[in-house]
Structure 1
Amino acid sequence: MIRPLLFLSLIAHSVFGQSANSVGIQLVPIPAGTFYMGSERDGEDADEQPIHRVTISKPFRMAATEVTNAQYEAFDPAHKTLRGKMGFSKADDEAVVFVTYDQAVAFCTWLTRKEGKPYRLPTEAEWEYACRARTLSDFSTGNRLPAVYQKSQKTDRDPVVVSLQVGQSPANAFGLYDMHGNVEEWCSDWYGPYRAGEQTDPVGRVSGLYRVTRGGSHGTPIRYLRSANRLAMIPNDNSWLVGFRIIQADAPVSSPLPPNPVPAVMQRVVQKPASWQPVASTKPIFLDPIRYVRKPDCAGGVPYFSHNHCPAITWCPNGDLLVAWFSTDEESGREMTILASRLRSGNQVWDEPSEFFKVPDRNMTGTSLLHDGNGTIYHLNGLETDGDWQNLAMTVRESHDNGATWSAPRLADPEHTKRNQVIAGLIQTREGWLVQPGDADPGPTGGTAIHISKDKGKTWNNPYTDPQKPRFRNGAMGGLIAGIHAGVVQLKDGSLMALGRKDDLPGPDSIGPRMPMSVSTDMGKTWTYQASDFPPVWSGQRLVLYRLNEGPLLLISFTHHPDEASDATNGMLFTDASGKTSRRYGMYAALSYDEGKTWPVKKLLTDGKYRYLNGGAWTGAFEMDATHAEPKGYLAITQTPDNLIHLVSSSQHYRFNLTWLKQLPAASQPSINSTRK
């Protein structure tokens, strides 16, 4: 049954040659013409620059609506099993969703063979030209989008189910429906920066990592529905936000643009293996902290935002260090990108950052890096459908040349769901398996899941089984690690041990709640819980748990949360070289020589020297002295083959060795520089 609005529109446009093809797709004639592509917006929309004059030299026919379930399933009947997934797109005349780029192309190929006429996806330029329909405004409706076009136009942590019925809002001047919203639409172009100057029938880049999508969708803020807004996706990704529409026309004969520029962090990478000289085991080393998050030169065009946080770090075979983190204005923002910097071998200053990984207009929460010791560097990352950080897929890619080039991103877990908020702390077990922790819930509690690859990152499995099982009680058994942002190590007996944030367990009455410790003897299928010796970690804090090259387990965490209570009632007791015990505050290290049963060494991470530092992100400025270390931050760690330990907080890079950790600190003296009273 044809709805009245669409029926009247079909009559109105019939005089212009609109017709239905063999699967019932109404094709609208789009005339040749010239338009201005892009916008002058800055910030996260800077990829819409520069505005450039584009000529579409030949007319074409474009589907009046997005391809529907019934139309797509004439090609792929098996897709019917995905109707209603997450509650979306159940009816014949709703836009088909959960379709990858390759599946959309395959539909066009099938329809071309079926009818003997050329069908394909539109180029990005053809799509924007058809959407604008001779307008220069943000939308074809002007600079505002009327309510009749809107379907839950906000970021929804839990997707709000709406009808995806096509043709329910007015058509634009060309007779096209749903160009602003309903579902995003695949285009044929590889995503890449625009080229300035007049162009005719442009087709984008010759290669790339992501295919362009356009138009925005339901469950998306209105600004992402603008005619000029650019989105993209990994080609084999799919979601409840993305469908497609087709055109009938021969492919343009224009030459594509060159490949995308290589970011600075991947340039000038030396390939000669480093000659690692072990740090003298008898000499304690603690070097001055250096800042790795450096604001880039604005002329460089790096998308650097106000909030830089959540790092990962690894060493490279050539002696470089590689660090990556997210940069954003809001942690639930679509502008979030992954930046990276390189500390080149022999240097004392980190490079300015450059963009490392960004699927356009998608939230990218969570990054992990690991060099396996045999020349392969792994990069895992979360990938949202939109903003927020609940419904993440998990991507993986590798480098075999010190991070100079990377494989195309693959979907380690293709479902956009909980459990995939990647956390720095990827480990390699003694079996050679990769174990990646990921938050199991977007909230402050809810535990951590793990993902395991037994084939060097090619395939991954999640041993998490029973969502009702985690109870997080002393002595209980559950299906998740207690606490989010967990650090995980493998013990010598093959079991896994983890420490996490929140989901705290009660300690002795005199000391209050303790950080939860989780142990699994079946490689993550089940976990048992007990209170650790350590105080809980809180918002703005992330611990690291790591096995050092020399054998001991190393925990680095925080004595308390400075925003929760005063120094007078918090901190931890530490013993100095004189044997005196005193209360100290901030980031500390603890060592265990018996696989986490006891932690005889506990030390504040400071050499006693007064420093004014800035921890960035949620930390901000702080003073460091004999009794105070960095008060909070998100931590990541690696240890180079020379046994130097490299710890990064949200902004600072610390370097020290095991001998220094074992050395008792000097008795504390008041700092003449401190502003503390």
Structure 2
Amino acid sequence: MSGFKPANSNETFTNSIGMKFKPVSAGTYTRGGCHTPLPPELSEDKPHLLNGDFDEHPAHQVTITQPFYLGLYQVTNIEYEYFAPDHRSIRGKLGFSNDDDEAVVFVDWHQATAFCRWLAEKENIPYRLPTEAEWEYACRAGSQTHYHTGNQLPDISHKNVRESWYPDPARSDGDSEVVPLTVGQTLANEWGFYDMHGNVEEWCSDWYGPYQEKAQTNPVGYAEGNYRVTRGGSHSTKLYYLRSANRSGAVPEDQHWLIGFRVAIGEFPSTEPRVISKLPLWATAVKQEAVKGERQDFDPERPYFASPKKYVQIPEGSIGPLFSNHNHVPAIVSCPNGDLLAIWYSCVSERGRELNVVGSRLRFGQQEWEPAETFWGVPDRNNHASALWCDEVGKIYHFNGLSVAATWGPLAMVMRTSEDNGATWSRPKLVHPEHTLRHMPIESVFRAQDESIVLVCDAVTGGNGGTALHISRDNGQTWVDPGEGQLTPTFETGQRGNWIAGIHASVVQLTDDRLMAFGRGDTIEGKMPMSISEDMGQTWSYQPSQFPVVSGGQRCVLLRLKEGPIFLASFTGDRKDPAPMLITDASGQEREVRGMFAALSLDEGQTWPHIRLISDDGSGREIETMDGRLFTMSLDSAEPGGYLSVCQSADNLIHLITSQQHYAFNLAWLTTPGPSRSEVHPCHSH
């Protein structure tokens, strides 16, 4: 292949299957962030968008010394199907890309590179994907503006400009969001390349990673990573993501209707790839010795309640990849070494493409959580949402939803595992590769009595409509969803269906093998819905629980404690105007409380004799709740909202986190009634 020489003229090269290429000469350009604030029509005056994304910086000089050819157009269906004829069977999937001259989609990175190898072997010419640096160089074609057309993009490149929920029937506009992907219909840039802004994103050869400030020559990205770079933006997103500088990425095995590719010709640059040298704090110096159950700082037979600790440690004013605006939907796991690992999403908008997952570690024996750093985040994809679980041999599982772009409607689901206390993780595996409903993990994972793993995911994108149950009988390699394709149930007393009632449901297995779930929404007789399955999630019966409904900004949790009882944490009512709930205190009298409470069942959910407020039962002090808002913790009031996640450590302490705070207490505290107004706080509080 070394005999192929790029032309020095502007002559177009046409290959054996009709693909057209133009030469790109060597040169130097500035890669990365824009030089002036973006106009309001692109930034919407949002601080995190005003100067482009954090990963577009620092801007730096790049020199391309090796001329190369680049395809005038994105690869089309007819071209790709010379290599993979079976792809014709998925033309028109979800309505997209039916015709020969439309950009090929539903092609992952491996398939795109295989197409290039096939062409190379067929023609003895070095076909390949372009590097990210080559792609931006060719896109800009000498420009330094937001687009090669200037600082605005002509209307002809606007295709379904929005934060799309497609194909969610409840929130999208349905088939009206399907647009043609015909190549070559937009304005070519100064060097003759079409569709460099939009139509479909394009795979690049690089592993994604941060820019470095110094000038570079023929950069090729990183030696390894979790995501491959995609460039150019697509239909069904906002114009901000179509800019020359904008960077996106995808799991290499991911394939959907927003990503295609373009082919380059030329020997791959000989530059050494970069190596990421700085680990995030949660992955640094992680001890590997397992801890035993004993602790010296409390007596497990006496009530113990630790003063809540703020675990969301993000500097004010952070605008990427950590965001101080909104931190929510956590997951927590107790590691075999005694550390606690918490993850949650961080964003400006819950539906935004900036939403990624950050993490923090509370090391065994320490009192404070470490500052948060990025844990997982496919760039420019809404990574909604997360679950963590540690199995009986110490393997930690991480589950996460993965959108095609914005919103939590079109989600695939990825799984990673760690066998070293969360210090390193396996490459992501797309355990549910289709981007659709029923793939948003909820923090309720456990090993069932038949040795299967049970995971729940929201079945819908709205506040009512139920939860899906996913089951793996081979330790996470494959999963089944018994309710998939079934009709939406009627969530009423005495009715049966194939889904759990309520979204964000939490599930526990009873000793007689039945499953019990509580959820949010789908209210039954004015109470939080309870669902029972006698056949491992194939079917469910519905009834009201005894507990108040939860609403926006709230999520309950269930956990089978190591000592045997079932633990529930939930809320007395709406977080903005909490309704009171009666509890019985140590004097035997009933009194009203508001906010987050704990309940304990000793008879498999039939009754809940121990119910108390999750509070230090003091005279009243202000504490932060979600997004820095304040609430008063006292004898009568507790945190009013938050999405809850819970685990139990080797010392049997129960660790409950909200969207901001970490609470720790033991079974003895749960079974001790809250004090009366005249009593001194009976538990040992730290």
Q: Determine whether 1:28 maps to 2:22.
A: yes
Equivalent residue number for residue 61 of structure 1: 69
Counterpart CA distance in 2 for 1:466 and 1:328 is 32
Equivalent position amino acid for 1:39 in 2:
G
The Cα shift of 1:476 comes to 1.0
Equivalent position amino acid for 1:198 in 2:
A
Q: Determine whether 1:37 maps to 2:31.
A: yes
The Cα shift of 1:419 comes to 0.6
TM-score, normalization: structure 1? 0.93
Counterpart CA distance in 1 for 2:319 and 2:594 is 40
Counterpart CA distance in 2 for 1:282 and 1:305 is 40
- Verify the 8 A CA contact 1:619 1:632 in the aligned structure 2: no
Counterpart CA distance in 2 for 1:21 and 1:498 is 60
- Verify the 8 A CA contact 1:263 1:354 in the aligned structure 2: yes
- Verify the 8 A CA contact 2:401 2:412 in the aligned structure 1: yes
Counterpart CA distance in 1 for 2:134 and 2:269 is 10
The Cα shift of 1:14 comes to 14
Q: 1:102 to 1:398 in 2, by over 3 A?
A: same
- Of 630-639 and 296-305, more deviation after overlay is shown by 296-305
Equivalent residue number for residue 362 of structure 1: 381
Q: Determine whether 1:633 maps to 2:642.
A: yes
Equivalent residue number for residue 268 of structure 2: 251
Equivalent residue number for residue 39 of structure 2: none
Query: Alignment RMSD, CA only?
Result: 2.0
Question: Which residue of 15, 19, 34 maps to 2:13?
Answer: 19
The Cα shift of 1:612 comes to 3.0
Equivalent position amino acid for 1:139 in 2:
Y
Equivalent residue number for residue 224 of structure 2: 207
1:488-507 counterparts in 2 under 5 A?
A: 488-506=507-525
- Of 112-121 and 430-439, more deviation after overlay is shown by 430-439
Question: Which residue of 83, 91, 99 maps to 1:83?
Answer: 91
The Cα shift of 1:597 comes to 1.4
Task: Give the SS at the match of 2:631.
Answer: strand
Counterpart CA distance in 2 for 1:465 and 1:307 is 32
Question: Which residue of 258, 272, 276 maps to 2:293?
Answer: 276
- 1:252-303 deviation digits (Å, cap 9, x = unpaired): 1111111363211100111111132176443011111111011249899852
Equivalent residue number for residue 539 of structure 1: 552
- Verify the 8 A CA contact 1:193 1:260 in the aligned structure 2: no
- Verify the 8 A CA contact 2:249 2:380 in the aligned structure 1: yes
- 1:202-249 deviation digits (Å, cap 9, x = unpaired): 101111111000000000110110001100000001110000010111
Q: 1:260 to 1:66 in 2, by over 3 A?
A: farther
Equivalent residue number for residue 376 of structure 1: 395
The Cα shift of 1:308 comes to 0.5
- 1:53-79 deviation digits (Å, cap 9, x = unpaired): 111112211111100001000100111
1:213-292 counterparts in 2 under 5 A?
A: 213-259=230-276, 261-277=278-294, 280-292=299-311
Equivalent residue number for residue 386 of structure 1: 405
Equivalent residue number for residue 109 of structure 2: 101
Equivalent position amino acid for 2:605 in 1:
G
Q: 1:198 to 1:282 in 2, by over 3 A?
A: closer
Q: 1:455 to 1:610 in 2, by over 3 A?
A: farther
Task: Give the SS at the match of 1:74.
Answer: helix
Equivalent residue number for residue 333 of structure 2: 314
Task: Give the SS at the match of 2:240.
Answer: helix
Counterpart CA distance in 1 for 2:448 and 2:233 is 42
- 1:39-98 deviation digits (Å, cap 9, x = unpaired): 158847111111111111122111111000010001001111111111100111000000
Equivalent residue number for residue 592 of structure 1: 601
Question: Which residue of 137, 141, 154 maps to 2:162?
Answer: 154
Counterpart CA distance in 1 for 2:617 and 2:571 is 17
Equivalent position amino acid for 1:36 in 2:
T
Q: 1:102 to 1:139 in 2, by over 3 A?
A: same
Equivalent position amino acid for 2:552 in 1:
S
- Verify the 8 A CA contact 2:318 2:324 in the aligned structure 1: no
The Cα shift of 1:381 comes to 0.7
Q: 1:17 to 1:302 in 2, by over 3 A?
A: closer
- Of 181-190 and 282-291, more deviation after overlay is shown by 282-291
Equivalent residue number for residue 144 of structure 1: 152
Question: Which residue of 456, 459, 474 maps to 1:437?
Answer: 456
Equivalent position amino acid for 2:233 in 1:
G
* 5+ residue gaps, structure 1: 1-12, 507-512, 672-677
Q: 1:77 to 1:14 in 2, by over 3 A?
A: farther
Equivalent position amino acid for 1:593 in 2:
L
Task: Give the SS at the match of 1:473.
Answer: coil
Equivalent residue number for residue 74 of structure 1: 82
Counterpart CA distance in 2 for 1:634 and 1:201 is 46
Counterpart CA distance in 2 for 1:46 and 1:281 is 47
- Verify the 8 A CA contact 2:66 2:269 in the aligned structure 1: no
Task: Give the SS at the match of 1:389.
Answer: coil
Equivalent residue number for residue 503 of structure 2: 484
Task: Give the SS at the match of 1:255.
Answer: coil
- Verify the 8 A CA contact 1:608 1:626 in the aligned structure 2: yes
The Cα shift of 1:470 comes to 1.4
The Cα shift of 1:616 comes to 3.5
- 1:591-645 deviation digits (Å, cap 9, x = unpaired): 1111111112211112311343444436821001111111111100001121111
- Of 618-627 and 358-367, more deviation after overlay is shown by 618-627
Counterpart CA distance in 1 for 2:23 and 2:311 is 54
Equivalent residue number for residue 643 of structure 1: 652
Equivalent residue number for residue 49 of structure 1: 57
* 5+ residue gaps, structure 2: 1-6, 36-46, 168-176, 681-686
Q: Determine whether 1:179 maps to 2:196.
A: yes
The Cα shift of 1:651 comes to 0.4
- 1:413-447 deviation digits (Å, cap 9, x = unpaired): 00111111111121121233211111111111111
Q: 1:186 to 1:292 in 2, by over 3 A?
A: same
- 1:541-587 deviation digits (Å, cap 9, x = unpaired): 10001111111111111111143x5x6xx311111111111111111
Question: Which residue of 339, 349, 373 maps to 2:368?
Answer: 349
Task: Give the SS at the match of 2:407.
Answer: coil
- 1:362-400 deviation digits (Å, cap 9, x = unpaired): 101111111113110111111111111111111110110
Counterpart CA distance in 2 for 1:465 and 1:420 is 11
Equivalent position amino acid for 1:174 in 2:
W
The Cα shift of 1:338 comes to 0.6
After TM superposition, where is structure 1 displaced by more than 6 Å over at least 4 residues in a row? 297-301
- Verify the 8 A CA contact 2:573 2:580 in the aligned structure 1: yes
Counterpart CA distance in 2 for 1:326 and 1:276 is 31
Q: Determine whether 1:559 maps to 2:581.
A: no
Question: Which residue of 467, 481, 488 maps to 2:486?
Answer: 467
Q: 1:75 to 1:624 in 2, by over 3 A?
A: same
Equivalent residue number for residue 630 of structure 2: 621
- Verify the 8 A CA contact 1:542 1:557 in the aligned structure 2: yes
- Verify the 8 A CA contact 1:469 1:477 in the aligned structure 2: no
Equivalent residue number for residue 605 of structure 1: 614
Equivalent position amino acid for 1:538 in 2:
S
Equivalent residue number for residue 143 of structure 2: 135
- Of 466-475 and 591-600, more deviation after overlay is shown by 466-475
Q: 1:389 to 1:65 in 2, by over 3 A?
A: same
Counterpart CA distance in 1 for 2:79 and 2:277 is 35
- Verify the 8 A CA contact 1:208 1:260 in the aligned structure 2: no
The count of aligned residue pairs is 649
The Cα shift of 1:465 comes to 3.5
TM-score, normalization: structure 2? 0.92
